[in-house]
Amino acid sequence: MKRVSVVLALALAAGFSVPATAQTLKTVKDRGMLTCGVSQGLPGFSAPDDKGNWTGIDVDVCRAVAAAIFNDPTKVKYVPLSAKDRFTALQSGEIDLLSRNTTWTLSRDTTLGANFTGVTYYDGQGFMVKKSLKVNSALELNSASVCVQTGTTTEQNLADFFKSNNMKYEVVAFAGADETVKAYESGRCDAFTTDASGLYAYRLKMTNPADHVVLPEIISKEPLGPMVRHGDDQWFDIVKWVLFAMVDSEELGITQRNVDEMVKSDKPEVKRVLGTDGNFGEQLGLTKDWVVRIIKVVGNYGETFDRNVGAGSPLGIARGLNQLWNKGGIQYAPPIR
């Protein structure tokens, strides 16, 4: 991992980075392939399945962007990145888009030379412990050893939580997610902390998922979203609106199954979204039917959520905050008009 970041830093230093006025869309079209930075395997978000195909809610963002550009969701090259290397890979131009359960924070938005394009998943940091410890609350974790992956916002949240509750703890920080989970399972730590969605995902990977319990406390706000480089507003808009289009489609009831009928709909809002009225796709530098292409491939936001992390997946996470704004959640997208 260290070597990767050294190489990336050197690439950055040697100035392989794209010029500020880069036309990412043109580069991607010329290459015939979108390069997308994903995680090294987080079930539900981005992980290769048993056939080696990448799946997950973060992967669906990549596939949706590829569908909107090429009308072909397979034209994506996935670059698995550790938490540590992800930003350097984006800065150095190795990837066009980072869709890797990354928390939107002010310092990341301002100092990394990159922008967040929206929120794919509203998350928060939680704790997991072994059931046998009989711990019911994170506030009972005084003097515990806590395993955590380095290179994330998690370490700071952890430090803040224990400090503000006047509790002592020992942090054991690993570079890779798998090592972290293994150390927790082997008993090196009493608790394992990461984003709550991640806790559910990693629990599936453990030898005995039923022996572990996720504590109720959520100690931070972790809005996860995709990132693009500074300096290319057109590309920024495309990635931003692909996600918005998925949320808007769910709101309008456009699904993977009914999209072909919906194209014939005469509801003005649906017509604008699906491109039978206006030229919104072209304004983005895409085609008129860009949303149709997206929905046919990945479905609307709700379908993606269900299939990857929600009720229709092994993770079985409730929609919660990620429900649409008019159904009790906070997922809200500006209108396509």
Partner 1 sequence: MGTDARPPPRQLAARLQRALGGGAGWKGFVLQLLFVILVAWIIYAVVDNVRTNLETQRIAAGFGFLTNNAGFDVNQTLIPYSQSDTYARVFVVGLLNTLLVSIIGIFFATLIGFLVGLGRLSPNWLLSRISGGYVELLRNIPLLFQILFWYLAVLGALPSPRQSISLFGVIFLSNRGLVVPTPIPQPGLEAVIAALLLAIAASLLLRFYARRQLFQSGRIMRIWPTIVGMLIGLPLLAALLFGVPFGFEIPKLRGFNFAGGSRVIPEFVALTVALSTYTGAFIAEVVRGGILAVHKGQMEAGSSLGLSRGATLRLIVVPQALRVILPPLTNQYLNLTKNSSLAVAIGYPDLVSVFAGTSLNQTGQAIEIIGITMGVYLLISLVTSAIMGFYNWRIGRSMGA
Interface positions with partner 1 (CB under 8 A): 1-2, 5-6, 8-10, 12-15, 17, 19-20, 83-84, 87-88, 91, 107-108, 110-113, 133, 141-145, 147, 150-153, 155-156, 158-160, 162-163, 169-176, 179-180, 182-183, 186-188, 190, 229-231
Q: Give the whole-angstrom CA distance, residue 274 versus residue 260.
A: 10
> Which residue number, 9 or 33, has a Cβ lying nearer to partner 1?
9
Say which DSSP state 42 is in.
Answer: B
Residue whose C-alpha is closest to residue 305's, from 249, 231, 258: 249
Kindly state the smallest distance separating residue 202's Cβ from partner 1, in Å.
16
Tokens read off for 261: 């009928």
> Which residue number, 147 or 294, has a Cβ lying nearer to partner 1?
147
CA pseudo-torsion sign 315, 89, 34, 80 = negative
> Which residue number, 25 or 81, has a Cβ lying nearer to partner 1?
81
> Which residue number, 169 or 290, has a Cβ lying nearer to partner 1?
169
Kindly state the smallest distance separating residue 10's Cβ from partner 1, in Å.
8
Kindly state the smallest distance separating residue 1's Cβ from partner 1, in Å.
7
Q: Give the whole-angstrom CA distance, residue 75 versus residue 14.
A: 29
How many Cβ atoms are within 10 Å of 321's Cβ, its own excluded? 17
> Which residue number, 61 or 90, has a Cβ lying nearer to partner 1?
90
Kindly state the smallest distance separating residue 23's Cβ from partner 1, in Å.
15
Kindly state the smallest distance separating residue 14's Cβ from partner 1, in Å.
6
Kindly state the smallest distance separating residue 68's Cβ from partner 1, in Å.
25
> Which residue number, 178 or 289, has a Cβ lying nearer to partner 1?
178
User: Residue 315: CB partners within 8 Å, gap ≥ 6?
Assistant: 43, 44, 197, 200, 201, 204, 308, 309
Q: Phi/psi at 12 (nearest 5 deg)?
A: -65, -45
Kindly state the smallest distance separating residue 138's Cβ from partner 1, in Å.
13
Angle formed by the axes of helices 57-70 and 301-308, nearest 10°: 140
> Which residue number, 171 or 214, has a Cβ lying nearer to partner 1?
171
Per DSSP, the three-state class of 69 is helix
Rounded to 5 degrees, what angle do the CA atoms 53, 223, 312 make? 45
Q: Give the whole-angstrom CA distance, residue 31 versus residue 26.
A: 8
